[in-house]
Amino acid sequence: LRESLVQSEKMAAVGTLVAGLSHELNNPLGVILGFAQAQLMRPTLDNASRTAFTLIETHTQRCARLVRTLLDFSRRSGPARERIEVGRMLERVQELAIGQAQRGEVQLKIIEPPADLPGLEANVPEMESALLNLVGNALDATPPGGTVSMGAHVIPAGNEMELFVTDTGSGMAPDVRQRMFDPFFTTKPVGQGTGLGLSITRSIVESHGGRIDVETALGAGTTVRLWFPLAPVQPTEVSA
């Protein structure tokens, strides 16, 4: 619990600083990238300079990507909630991720939710980006021929809805499993990971009153489960 408090404080601090900072960084990054790319277009460029400008290009793109992720996070639209149809949301997430799945030769499927699945009170763009982060991670971890599935159902015992994303990918070693929610922790190559996906996802889930749990086995795959309360929690009167 303490750990998760420190984590959400960190994310709140990131949120307030980031909007201004990202704007300030966007323009200079664009200028650096533009000049590097202009140099790379020159046919007479010698090899040493080509290597240098390629490095500048790669790392500037990496910074730009980080800035974009942080900007998206800081623009989170607040508490606006609507009743969403979970099956439709899963289909939208599938549409958004299908290109990445096809490039990686991974099957991306939806386990058809039960017909009587209730709606979920949620912020649509936030919830979609939370799921998209999980599906993106699952696809990244899954070799060609593997499968990523997502679905939703109501937990029999409790008044909760479970959403899950499961993959037949690499799974996580214990040290990765332990650090996966840390902001900026990533095992992905330069330019591919920001290390913010899971911390942002957890922050979105918790702001919806939900919980997140990850079950992983090295070499066998990973399942991420999100649980959301179905009935709005009644605020309890606190007597003075």
Q: Write out the residues near ligand ADP by the rule CB under 6 A.
A: 133, 137-138, 141, 167, 169-170, 172, 176, 180, 185-188, 193-199, 222
Least gap, CB of 33 to ligand ADP (angstroms): 20
CB of 152 to ligand ADP, least distance (A): 18
Cβ closer to ligand ADP: 46 or 175? 175
User: For residues 53 and 227, which CB has a smaller minimum distance to ligand ADP in the complex?
Assistant: 227
- Give residue number: closest CB to ligand ADP: 197
On whether the CB atoms of residues 96 and 108 are closer than 8 A, the answer is: no
Q: Which of 164, 171, 185, 175 is nearest to 143 (CA)?
A: 171
Backbone dihedral region of 131: left (phi > 0), alpha (psi from -120 to 50 degrees) or beta? alpha
Residue closer to ligand ADP (CB basis): 10 or 81: 10
The minimum distance between CB 72 and ligand ADP, in angstroms, equals: 13
Our CB check for ligand ADP shows the closer of 69 and 123 to be: 69
**Would you say 113 or 221 has its CB closer to ligand ADP?**
221
**Minimal distance, residue 210 CB to ligand ADP, in Å:** 17
Cα separation, 86 vs 121, whole angstroms: 10
123 vs 199, beta carbon nearer ligand ADP? 199
Whole-number minimum distance, CB 9 to ligand ADP, in Å? Answer: 18
Least separation in angstroms between residue 24's CB and ligand ADP is 23
Residue 12 or 38 with smaller CB distance to ligand ADP: 12
CB 204 within 8 A of CB 196: no
Amino acid, res. 110:
I
Cβ at position 127, least distance to ligand ADP in Å: 16
